[in-house]
C-alpha cells in the first residue's frame, strides 16, 4: 500500500483525446516492394540463374522450406511474376482448381509449363533447369497440393487403415524370421534402429522432401545391413534388401506411410528420376507392403 500511495496520481489516469492526438505518431504501415527486396535473400541471389546455381539439388530431410526455395518465391515477387500473362493465368487456374478441388491440367504438365516459361524468360541455361524444375514443383505443390491429393484421399486413408491392420504381431514375427533366412539378426530390429528412426521422421508435406528423406532411409539401411553382414553395401541385392524393408516398415510407426509413398511416386518422381535409383527403391518399398498384405491377407 505504501508503494501505491507513492505513485503520482497523474500516472494512474486515462489520457484525454487531446493528449493522445498530441502524442508522437508511431507509423505502422506495409513495407513497399522496394523495401522488402532489401533483404539478405535479395542480396544473396543477383538473378534466377545465380539462385539456381547455388540451390542444393537435395533438400533438408524436413518439411520446412529451405532458403533456396524461399529465395525462389521472393524472386517471383520481385520479378512481378504475378503480373505477367503466365502468372495471371496460373493464379486463375489455382483459384478455379482450389474451388473445385480438381485440376484440368496434370501436376507434371503444369510444373513443366511453368518451368519452361521461367527458363525462357530468365535465360536459364540447361545445366540449371533441373534445379528450376525442382523449385517450380515445390511452388506448385505448395499452392495446389490439396487439389491433387483430394481425389485419392479417401482411398489413401482406407489403404493406410488396411495396412495398419495387416501390420500385426504375427506379421512382425514372420518378418524377423525372413531376416534370419538371409543371414541377418532375427531376435529384434535393434540393429536397424537408425533406419527405423529415419523412416519414422519422414516428411509428409513436400513430396520432394519426402523422397530425399526416403533415399536417406535407404542409405542408412544399406549401412546397417552392410555392417551386420560384414559385406560391402554395393554388393547387397534386392533379395537381401526386400526382406529388410519388410521388417523396417512393419517395425516402424509411420501413420502416413501409404500417403507418403503415393506422393513420392506420383508427385516427386520426375526430372530424370524415373527409372533411376529413387524409382527403384520406391517400387521396392511398395513391393514390401504388398508382400505383407498378400501373405497376411
How many angstroms from the chain centroid is the CA of residue 232? 31
What is the pLDDT, as a whole number, of residue 12?
45
How many angstroms from the chain centroid is the CA of residue 188? 31
DSSP-H helix ranges across 7-128: 17-22, 33-36, 40-44, 48-54, 67-78, 85-100, 107-121
How does pLDDT run along the chain (297 residues), one tens digit per residue?
A: 444 344 444 444 555 555 544 544 444 444 444 444 444 444 456 788 888 888 776 666 677 788 888 889 998 998 899 999 999 999 999 999 999 999 999 999 999 999 999 999 999 999 999 899 989 999 999 999 999 999 999 999 999 999 999 999 999 999 999 999 889 988 778 889 999 999 999 998 889 899 999 999 999 999 999 999 998 988 889 999 999 999 999 999 999 999 999 999 999 886 555 458 899 999 999 999 999 988 765
What is the DSSP code string of 91-105? HHHHHHHHHHT--SS
**How many other CB atoms are found less than 10 A from the CB of residue 52?**
28
CATH class of 152-295: mainly alpha
Biggest alpha carbon–alpha carbon distance for the chain: 87
What is the pLDDT, as a whole number, of residue 146?
92
What is the DSSP code string of 171-226? HHHHHHHHHHHTT---S-SGGGHHHHHHHHT---S-HHHHHHHHHHHHHHHHHHHH
What is the pLDDT, as a whole number, of residue 42?
46
Euclidean distance between the first and final Cα of the chain, in Å? 77
What is the pLDDT, as a whole number, of residue 187?
79
What is the pLDDT, as a whole number, of residue 68?
84
Rounded to two decimals, what is the model's pTM?
A: 0.80
Domain ranges of the chain: 45-150, 152-295
What is the pLDDT, as a whole number, of residue 32?
45
What is the pLDDT, as a whole number, of residue 228?
92
Under 8 Å between Cβ of 87 and 117? no
Amino acid at each position: 500500500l505504501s508503494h501505491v500511495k507513492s505513485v503520482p496520481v497523474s500516472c494512474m489516469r486515462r489520457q484525454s483525446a487531446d493528449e493522445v492526438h498530441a502524442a508522437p505518431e508511431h507509423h505502422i504501415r506495409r513495407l513497399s516492394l522496394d523495401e522488402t527486396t532489401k533483404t539478405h535473400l535479395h542480396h544473396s541471389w543477383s538473378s534466377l540463374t545465380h539462385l539456381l546455381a547455388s540451390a542444393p539439388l537435395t533438400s533438408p530431410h524436413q518439411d520446412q522450406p529451405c532458403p533456396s526455395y524461399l529465395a525462389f518465391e521472393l524472386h517471383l515477387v520481385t520479378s512481378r511474376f504475378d503480373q505477367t500473362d503466365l502468372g495471371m493465368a496460373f493464379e486463375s487456374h489455382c483459384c478455379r482448381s482450389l474451388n473445385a478441388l480438381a485440376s484440368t491440367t496434370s501436376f507434371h504438365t503444369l510444373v513443366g509449363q511453368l518451368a519452361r516459361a521461367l527458363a525462357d524468360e530468365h535465360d536459364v541455361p540447361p545445366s540449371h533447369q533441373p534445379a528450376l524444375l525442382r523449385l517450380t514443383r515445390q511452388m506448385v505443390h505448395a499452392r495446389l497440393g490439396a487439389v491433387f491429393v483430394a481425389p485419392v484421399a479417401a482411398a489413401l486413408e482406407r489403404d493406410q487403415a488396411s495396412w495398419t491392420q495387416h501390420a500385426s504381431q504375427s506379421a512382425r514375427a514372420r518378418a524377423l524370421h525372413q531376416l534370419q533366412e538371409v543371414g541377418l539378426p532375427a531376435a529384434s530390429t535393434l540393429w536397424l534402429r537408425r533406419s527405423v528412426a529415419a523412416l519414422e521422421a519422414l516428411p509428409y508435406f513436400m513430396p520432394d522432401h519426402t523422397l530425399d528423406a526416403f533415399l536417406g532411409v535407404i542409405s542408412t539401411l544399406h549401412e546397417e545391413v552392410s555392417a551386420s553382414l560384414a559385406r560391402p553395401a554395393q554388393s547387397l541385392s534386392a533379395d537381401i534388401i526386400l526382406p529388410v524393408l519388410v521388417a523396417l516398415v512393419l517395425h516402424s510407426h509411420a501413420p502416413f506411410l501409404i500417403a507418403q509413398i503415393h506422393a513420392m511416386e506420383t508427385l516427386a518422381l520426375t526430372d530424370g528420376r524415373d527409372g533411376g535409383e529413387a524409382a527403384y527403391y520406391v517400387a521396392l518399398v511398395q513391393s514390401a507392403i504388398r508382400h505383407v498384405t498378400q501373405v497376411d491377407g
